[in-house]
Amino acid sequence: MIYLPIDPETQRKRVQRRYGESPDQTWQMSEEELMEWRAFFHENEPDEAELNGTILEDAPPGYESWSAWAASRWPSFPDEYA
């Protein structure tokens, strides 16, 4: 995982630009929604162990690995990282 912190103003500009350039590939987001998502993410901000990949919980029940789980949700994701 690569975690890239971003300040609210820069994020807001990127969200607006992305919607302006590709409205069919994204959705409009209000200031309130953006702040709610920022708060949610920062409450769950990855710690050093997560960023370094040193701690990984077991895959969900029914899956041999996290990549198998991800591949079941996103078919284009390769199931090769067991």
- Confirm if 68 and 79 have CB atoms less than 8 A apart: yes
Tokens in use for 6? 């971003």
User: How far is the C-alpha of 41 from the C-alpha of 4, rounded, in Å?
Assistant: 12
- Confirm if 44 and 52 have CB atoms less than 8 A apart: no
What is the structure's pLDDT at 78?
A: 78
- Of residues 53 and 73, more confidence is placed in 73
DSSP 8-class letter at 2: -
pLDDT in tens, 1-13: 677 888 999 999 9
User: How far is the C-alpha of 60 from the C-alpha of 69, rounded, in Å?
Assistant: 7
pLDDT in tens, 15-31: 999 999 999 999 999 99
User: How far is the C-alpha of 40 from the C-alpha of 64, rounded, in Å?
Assistant: 29
